[in-house]
Amino acid sequence: MGDSLGSSSAALADARDVRAQDVPTLTKAELAEMLFEQVGLNKRESKDMVEAFFDVIREALEQGDSVKLSGFGNFQLRDKPQRPGRNPKTGEIIPITARRVVTFHASQKLKALVEERVEPLPVDVA
């Protein structure tokens, strides 16, 4: 049973690697380039604006605030309590420490736009 689980995990990891390579990614540099081309800011101003935008979001989250971007979604903080976990190699029970995580919840508007405009990723069943 352990072998099939291991091979399933490996197959899932391989599928994630392939999917990550196939899905286009929008980077901060590309956002800055879009501001340069579409808004008319110079390249330095564009880069600074993108950095400032993310700095404001990061600082708000660091201070414990939620960030609500109308028509886009909400970044929220969630406190996860300590819980028991297992060392996958030994099976030993070990505590997973409490932590704070950032979650993103897309707005209904964003969900609807994504749903109508994006074709599902191809699934390789081989």
d(C-alpha 24, C-alpha 60), whole Å: 28
Share the mean pLDDT of the chain: 85
pLDDT > 90 fraction of the chain, expressed in percent and rounded: 69
Summarize the confidence of residues 100-108 as an average pLDDT: 97
pLDDT > 70 fraction of the chain, expressed in percent and rounded: 75
Tokens of 92: 């030993």
Q: Is the pLDDT of residue 78 over 60?
A: yes
> What structural domains and CATH numbers belong to the chain?
28-65 (4.10.520.10), 66-119 (4.10.520.10)
The predicted pLDDT at position 5 comes to: 43
Contact by Cβ (8 Å): 9, 3: no
Q: Give the model confidence (pLDDT) of 8-54 as tens digits.
A: 455 555 555 555 566 789 999 999 999 999 998 999 999 999 999 99
Residue 79, helix vs strand vs coil: strand
